[in-house]
Amino acid sequence: MMSGMGNERHAGGLPAWVPDAARNYLVHTEGGQSIRSLARARDCHPSTVMRQVRRFEGRRDDPLVDAALKALSSRVTGDAQARRCAEPVGLTETRIARESKRVLRRLIETGAVLAAARDMETAVIVRRTPEGEQMRTAIVERDIAEALALQGWIACTDVGGRIVRYTITNAGRAELRRLTAQDENRAGGFDDTDQGAGSEWDRDALHGIARSAPRASVQESPLLGLSRRRTRDGKPFLARDLVAAGERLREDYEIVEVGYAGIAGWRDALDPATSDVPSGAARGAQEALGRIRAALADLGPGLGDVALRCCCFLEGLEQTEKTMGWSARSGKIVLRIALERLKRHYAETQGRFGPLIG
């Protein structure tokens, strides 16, 4: 959990989201404060602070951790000009929490890694497909990747190459569970009254986001499980291009979920029949919402419902079949038809190769 939760600033002029161990390291090495005075201020033994300082000194081989510490050092030294150049714009506790949900959900999937090149402004999350190919599933802004590494939610084992690969840590999994629990607690007080009687779309799916399938326990999307299944002739039940179409829809949904967080009524706008689309979100989130609405309008009720539930809400097929009133084991067939239609939609509206996921 982030230290100093709820405070804008903390000791040493550092943002509240900076971990205590990193804070002690920076205040000691950059600010010149002694180990003993830090220990007195933190009400702990000097050896505890010493271990924290040594641990972060060793972590500076990690390029993301090193970059984060360099960006934060100007906070301690008081160099205003360096601060303006180095401090990431908009890197707040709220933004880190929102982006962490999106990033950690991707990294918890089997075979997923975050790849960061030393000279690139963004990192990418890739996952190995059952056929052994690499599929990109998300783009992560550099400052967010640095914050995740500094928190210890992602870690790398080999720092020697130009491209460094990170995986989620146990601490990252615990943070994802905490963030998901917060979402579920908020959802518990959500007004679930019927606001669209007579609509052909399943309004319960649009309002009851993921309450029937907590994301913290989800290791992978239903699409990945089906992509490993084989038909009688030995081919994957879901081909790679169908999985990619579903992942593109999911990435747009997660951009919308982050961008519209705190804005009332955004879930209603997922229904393409709804004309009232809330404003106030960033341009990227608005564009992503527009792409989702266009895709669901093309699929129509039924196919759109299963795509929304399985690709975006990560709902299991059995639950989807039960909710939609379908017979057992029919959901995977409907999902495949929906993905084929979704693939065609993207090819006709955006071209085969663009825009890429993220």
141 and 283 both lie in a single domain:
no
pLDDT of 320 over the 50 cut: yes
| pLDDT score recorded for residue 104 | 92
Domain-embedded: residue 259: yes
Average pLDDT score over residue span 198-223:
51
Q: Which of 269, 276, 294 lies closest to 206, judged by CA?
A: 269
C-beta pairs of 264-273 under 8 Å, 24+ apart in sequence: 267/206, 267/207, 267/209, 268/195, 268/196, 268/206, 268/207, 269/293, 270/206, 270/296, 270/308, 271/196, 271/199, 271/201, 271/203, 271/206, 271/296, 272/296, 272/297, 272/304, 273/199, 273/200, 273/201, 273/297
Of 42-46, 98-102, 259-263, 341-345, the one with minimum mean pLDDT is 259-263
Scan for tokens 């870690």, then name that residue: 155
Out of 41, 57, 86, a domain closes at 86
Specify the number of domains making up the chain.
Answer: 3
158 and 52 both lie in a single domain:
no
Task: Please give the share of the chain, as a percent, with pLDDT higher than 70.
Answer: 79
62 and 159 both lie in a single domain:
no
Domain-embedded: residue 188: no
269 and 144 both lie in a single domain:
no
Q: Which helix (H) or strand (E) holds 163?
A: strand 163-168
Of 112-116, 127-131, 136-140, 198-202, the one with minimum mean pLDDT is 198-202
Domain-embedded: residue 305: yes
The reported pTM is 0.63
Band (291; pLDDT cuts 50, 70, 90): very high
69 and 112 both lie in a single domain:
no
Domain-embedded: residue 183: no
50-108 per-position pLDDT tens digit: 999 999 998 999 999 999 999 898 777 665 444 444 444 468 888 898 889 889 988 98
The Cα 355–Cα 286 span in angstroms is 15
Band (42; pLDDT cuts 50, 70, 90): confident
199 is in which domain, residue-wise? 193-350
Out of 86, 111, 144, a domain closes at 86
Average pLDDT score over residue span 225-250:
84
Alpha helices per DSSP H over 218-330: 222-228, 240-259, 283-299, 303-307, 317-324
268 and 162 both lie in a single domain:
no
pLDDT of 208 over the 60 cut: no
Domain-embedded: residue 242: yes
Q: Cβ(138)–Cβ(357) under 8 Å?
A: yes
The helix/strand/coil state of 300 is coil
pLDDT of 157 over the 60 cut: yes
Domain-embedded: residue 176: no
250 and 117 both lie in a single domain:
no
Band (4; pLDDT cuts 50, 70, 90): very low
Q: What is the CATH number of the domain that holds 162?
A: 1.10.10
Q: Dihedrals φ, ψ of 155, to 5°?
A: -150, 150
| pLDDT score recorded for residue 130 | 66
| pLDDT score recorded for residue 201 | 57
81 and 222 both lie in a single domain:
no
First to last CA, the chain: 27
| pLDDT score recorded for residue 211 | 39
| pLDDT score recorded for residue 142 | 92
74 and 114 both lie in a single domain:
no
254 and 331 both lie in a single domain:
yes
Out of 33, 56, 86, a domain closes at 86
294 and 325 both lie in a single domain:
yes
Q: Rounded mean pLDDT of the chain?
A: 79
Domain-embedded: residue 182: no
Q: Encode 98-118: b = buried (16+ Cβ within 10 Å), e = exposed.
A: bbbbbbbbbbbbeebbbbbee
| pLDDT score recorded for residue 62 | 92
Band (150; pLDDT cuts 50, 70, 90): very high
257 and 316 both lie in a single domain:
yes
pLDDT of 194 over the 70 cut: no
252-284 per-position pLDDT tens digit: 898 888 888 778 788 888 888 888 888 888 888
Of 39-53, 142-156, 205-219, 300-314, the one with minimum mean pLDDT is 205-219
pLDDT of 195 over the 50 cut: no
pLDDT of 337 over the 90 cut: yes
Domain-embedded: residue 328: yes
Average pLDDT score over residue span 311-321:
86
